[in-house]
Structure 1
Amino acid sequence: MGDTLTLAVAAGMLAAVNPCGFALLPAYLSVLVLGDDSPGTGRAVGRALALTGWMTLGFVAVFGIFGLVISPVASQVQQYLPWFTVVFGVLVALAGVWLALGRELPQLRIGTGSGKAVTRTAPAMVGFGASYAVASLTCTIAPFLAVVVAGFRAGSVGEGVLLYVGYAAGMGLLVGVAAVAVAVARRGLVTGLRRTGRWVPRVAGVLLLVVGAYVAWYGAWELRVLGGDDPADPVIDLAARIQRTLAEWVDALAP
């Protein structure tokens, strides 16, 4: 069981840098850069961990639903997933253009008893995690089914739950470490660039534009390949080399 649990954690870590959705990781990290104006280090780290927790919840929830409920018809469903990837990529790119033009993304606020407003980041992060998962399903559902769902079906329910938690922990561990690193570094970044801080959202916008364009391109490439076209593509080949390097680093780190 110990070896299987380790495998589940490792599979979760690699899921964060899968070929289909690895470009969305820097998009998520850019959200941390666009957070509070000048939080203390402790507050920034706590916020990074909280957002990562909600994002991981959305990610693994989609995998759980897909693996346990939709897997019997997975072959029929997967052919439509690239369309979601294209649409999601376009939306991310549009958000990047909006930020690059110096605009701010709208924030969802709710009233409180004191009359103040608070930003609801949890639903947004759960939604982003779910979108990240859907964009990643084509590349990562097979390992998930082999490791986690097989545990539910072949072993006890308790073993399956443990493997599921391990998978979630692996994904959250990798994203959490990256998020904390960005949160800590951001403190120095905001202090050093206070006079030019207005450029930080613009830079993040350019990053989101590049990420969204790639994700949409990847989805369109999947559709072309499913249609029988030649899979050779210079953009996908370059991204694949970068992704393989990241995956090798993650594999070398181990949980």
Structure 2
Amino acid sequence: MEKRNRILAFVIVALILVGIIGLFLVIEFTSKEGKAAPDFTLTDTYGNRIKLSEQRGKVVLLDFMAIYCQPCKEEMGELKEVYKRYNESEFILISISVDRNDLGKLEGYKKENADNWTFCVDETGSVSSSYGITSIPRLFVIDKNGIIQFDHTGTIDSSILISEIEKARNTTSSSENEQDMSSNSNIILFSMTFAIGMMSFFSPCNFPMLPSYITYYLSRDENNSECENCKKSENKEDKKEQKLKRAGLRGAAFGSVTALGFFAVFLALGIPISLASTEIMNYLPWLTIVVGVSLIIVGSLMLADVNLSISVPVKAPMKKSALSFFIFGLGYALASTGCVLPLFIMVTMMALSSGGFAVALIVFLVYATGMGLVMVIVSVLVATSKELIIDKLQKFMPHVKKISAIILIAAGLFMVLERYIPSAW
């Protein structure tokens, strides 16, 4: 049975990879008109930082070129005519060299063949990748709202470019809508992160540790089961109610201490990633695809019931104290990364792309809160319902695994195809 599952999983993964490659080939050779222009930050020949999203309110003409490209050199004459026609307050022309030559050579090329518009070098190739550049010259006219209105490969007459720029100039600005979209985007990101954090609690890598936590808690609970008010009360119902209330509060308290371990782990993982956001963003398009494909593969294998657990061997500590619950929380969160690290990376990259360090930091806290909330709930249930919760959780686990697999595949597909989905910068 296990061998058949592995063969099935291999076939599923192979079909998915072939489908993704085929989809890429189709998409890369189709026009990007009507889609959001991917944002980027480059340095021009004067050392100035050029960020595409900061050009909002202007029409942008992007020219992907190279010094060695003869058609690109021929196109410079047409671009001169376009550049002279428009005021810099409403239009910007950016030529981006794809051959990663140094800025000094590009400045010399600019003086010889062009005019005083902006020239940059795509040193990492990430910008060319995000725009799907397979041949040059490639020109994009982007309207004031960041939407690609015209996409052309090869040389083109200046009159056609001017006509397309005029169309882009006539599009209306929608800054308030853009702010609403940005706000809604963050709400969606935080909601998704919270849900992923909750789901991570039940991942196959760390869920096997839960029974030991429950057993450990119950043994501790039995040693502290009586309370002074319960002893004083003569009414059996009052005793039962007081005992249940005390048990619930104690469960919430120790569940919260355990959850603090989650916060410590995910902040320790997330903060270094956030601080390195500039370097990460340079390779974000490729990292997104790699992580997305990894999620699809992992989800497919989980759906085929192939065991992928890469757990951290952490047991509930014998010493019964609040510190021991915190340490268990550290181990539980670390164990979860064996299965859900790609998802954590996904929400991290989405946060960095959306709002940088500040949004990423909030995402880490939201992720840990989602996972921690489940731990608090489970701890309260354990405190009030004893061993019954173990059987319920074990019966629920197969369903959680299937749901997790579907979410992984969906998240992976979203990451792979996200840059082709129209959205604001």
Shorter-chain TM range is: 0.5 to 0.7
Q: What is the correspondence of 1:66-105 to structure 2 with a 5 Å cutoff?
A: 66-69=269-272, 85-86=312-313, 88=314, 105=318
CA shift in 2, pair 1:17/1:83, >3 Å: closer
Pairs within 5 Å for 1:46-195: 46-69=249-272, 85-86=312-313, 88=314, 105-107=318-320, 120-121=321-322, 123-148=323-348, 150-152=350-352, 154-186=354-386
User: TM-score, normalising length from structure 2?
Assistant: 0.34
Unaligned runs of 5+ in 1: 73-81, 96-104, 108-119, 190-203, 208-238
- Larger Rg over CA atoms: 2
Asked whether the 8 Å contact 2:218–2:383 carries over to 1, the reply is: yes
Deviation at 1:12, TM superposition (A): 0.6
Kept in 2, the 8 Å contact 1:147–1:163? The answer is yes
Structure with greater contact order relative to length (CA < 8 Å, sep ≥ 6): 1
2:379 partner amino acid: A
Query: What's the secondary structure of 1:166's corresponding residue?
Result: helix
Asked if 1 retains the 8 angstrom alpha-carbon contact of 2:266 and 2:364, the reply is no
Pair 1:17 & 2:171 matched: no
Q: Is the 8 A contact 2:348 2:363 kept in 1?
A: yes
Does the 8 Å CA contact 1:67/1:149 hold for their aligned counterparts? Answer: no
Q: How many residues align?
A: 166
Q: CA deviation at 1:247?
A: 4.4
Give me the TM-score of the superposition, normalised by structure 1. 0.54
Hey, what does 1:245 align to over in structure 2?
A: 399
2:205/2:310 contact within 8 Å kept: no
Deviations 1:93-119 (A, max 9, x none): xx7xxxxxxxxx444xxxxxxxxxxxx
CA separation of 1:31 and 1:249: change in aligned 2, threshold 3 A: farther
Q: Counting helix residues as a fraction of each chain, which structure ranks higher?
A: 1
Give the whole-Å Cα distance in 2 for the aligned partners of 1:84 and 1:25. 13
- Alignment correspondent of 2:247: 44
Native 8 Å contact 2:311 2:338 kept in 1: no
Higher strand residue share: 2
Moved over 3 A (4+): 241-244, 247-251
> In percent, how many aligned pairs have the same letter?
25
RMSD, aligned CA? 3.6
**Distance apart, 1:149 and its partner CA:** 5.3
Aligned AA for 2:196?
Answer: A
- The answer for the alignment partner of 2:80 in structure 1 is none
Q: Matches of 2:210 and 2:349 in 1, distance apart? A: 25
Q: 1:149 to 1:46 in 2, by over 3 A?
A: farther
Give the Cα separation in 2 of the matches to 1:83 and 1:4: 27
Which runs of no fewer than 5 residues in structure 2 stay unpaired? 1-185, 228-242, 277-308, 406-425
- Alpha-carbon distance, 1:10 to partner: 0.8
Amino acid in structure 2 at the alignment position of 1:53: S
